[in-house]
């Protein structure tokens, strides 16, 4: 798992709150050449300038193909009313995230099935407890929710299912707007999904494990998660559970 603060996908990363620049996503992929496994999960994009979106998507897909990765699973970016995030240089914001979703869906349509976009944007509408004040960085409960959603999505992709939205992000924007309107049908659905775990995909006992920094160089991992935002608690919750189940012998 790569959960550095403030990375970008292809451009030089922005300065993080810790005062340094993380490697961008492509650099991380290249540093793990041959160890990304069958599925590459990406949650990048929140710090990318809008003019780099097409290049970023193409670069990730091309690098994954070069390394023989079978599937790229790229979560849609959050665009709901609670999102109030901009990168430190103010080169990205909610309009960028909407454009990213549109171009990801277009890229899915143009791909041969190796790109899938699980709809995290719609799935997490109304779940404010999963996020910090900016609507992007994860709270501890958000770490659990995202990893459960991601594990279920990866399992479905490996089973041959299509998990991408059926229509471009324009539909997501309308749903987001309606979901923030009290009394609307979409708000009711969003509230119901936030209030009960029955709306969450059930974690599989055979969930695809995630490689972590501690396992690099120790063997072949099945999944590499490249995460653009730093969770509130990066060393607990579901990530540890996945690391415990990891097929990689980390020696711990």
Report the distance separating Cα 22 and Cα 24, nearest Å: 6
Instruction: Supply 95's token pair.
Output: 């309009």
pTM of the model: 0.69
List, for residues 79-126, the tens digit of each pLDDT value.
Answer: 999 999 998 888 899 999 999 999 999 999 999 889 999 999 999 999
Interstrand relation of 71-74 and 223-226 (parallel, antiparallel or unpaired): unpaired
Q: How many CA atoms lie less than 13 Å away from 232 in the CB half-sphere?
A: 16
Closest C-alpha to 154, from 75, 213, 250, 78: 75
Instruction: Give every strand in the sheet of 71-74, ordered side by side.
Output: 115-116, 71-74, 39-42, 223-226
List, for residues 143-168, the tens digit of each pLDDT value.
Answer: 999 999 999 999 999 999 999 997 65
φ, ψ at 110 (rounded to 5°): -90, -10
Closest C-alpha to 213, from 27, 17, 28: 28
> CA geometry: angle at 147 spanning 127 and 240, to 5°?
125
End-to-end C-alpha distance for the chain, whole angstroms: 16
Instruction: Supply 144's token pair.
Output: 């659990």
**Mind listing the pLDDT tens digit of every residue in the chain (252 residues)?**
566 788 999 999 988 777 788 899 999 999 999 999 999 999 999 999 999 999 999 999 999 999 999 999 999 999 999 999 998 888 899 999 999 999 999 999 999 889 999 999 999 999 999 999 999 999 999 999 999 999 999 999 999 999 999 765 443 444 444 444 444 444 433 333 333 333 333 333 333 333 322 222 323 333 444 444 433 333 333 333 333 233 323 333
Report the distance separating Cα 109 and Cα 169, nearest Å: 13
């Amino acid at each position: 798992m790569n959960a550095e603060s403030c990375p970008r996908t292809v451009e030089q990363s922005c300065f993080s709150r810790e005062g340094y620049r993380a490697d961008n996503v492509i650099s991380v992929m290249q540093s793990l050449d041959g160890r990304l496994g069958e599925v590459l999960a990406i949650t990048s994009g929140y710090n990318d300038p809008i003019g780099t979106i097409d290049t970023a998507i193409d670069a990730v897909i091309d690098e994954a193909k070069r390394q023989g990765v079978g599937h790229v699973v790229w979560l849609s970016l959050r665009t709901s009313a609670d999102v109030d995030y901009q990168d430190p240089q103010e080169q990205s914001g909610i309009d960028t995230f909407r454009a990213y979703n549109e171009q990801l869906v277009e890229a899915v349509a143009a791909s041969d099935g190796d790109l899938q976009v699980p709809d995290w944007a719609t799935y997490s509408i109304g779940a404010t407890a999963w996020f910090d004040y900016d609507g992007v960085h994860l709270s501890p409960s958000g770490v659990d929710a995202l990893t459960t959603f991601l594990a279920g999505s990866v399992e479905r992709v490996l089973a041959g299912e299509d998990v991408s939205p059926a229509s471009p992000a324009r539909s997501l924007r309308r749903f987001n707007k309606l979901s923030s309107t009290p009394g609307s049908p979409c708000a009711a659905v969003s509230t119901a999904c936030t209030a009960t775990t029955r709306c969450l995909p059930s974690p599989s006992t055979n969930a695809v494990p995630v490689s972590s920094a501690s396992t690099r160089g120790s063997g072949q991992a099945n999944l590499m998660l490249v995460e653009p935002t730093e969770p509130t608690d990066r060393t607990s919750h579901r990530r540890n559970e996945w690391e415990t189940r990891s097929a990689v012998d980390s020696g711990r």
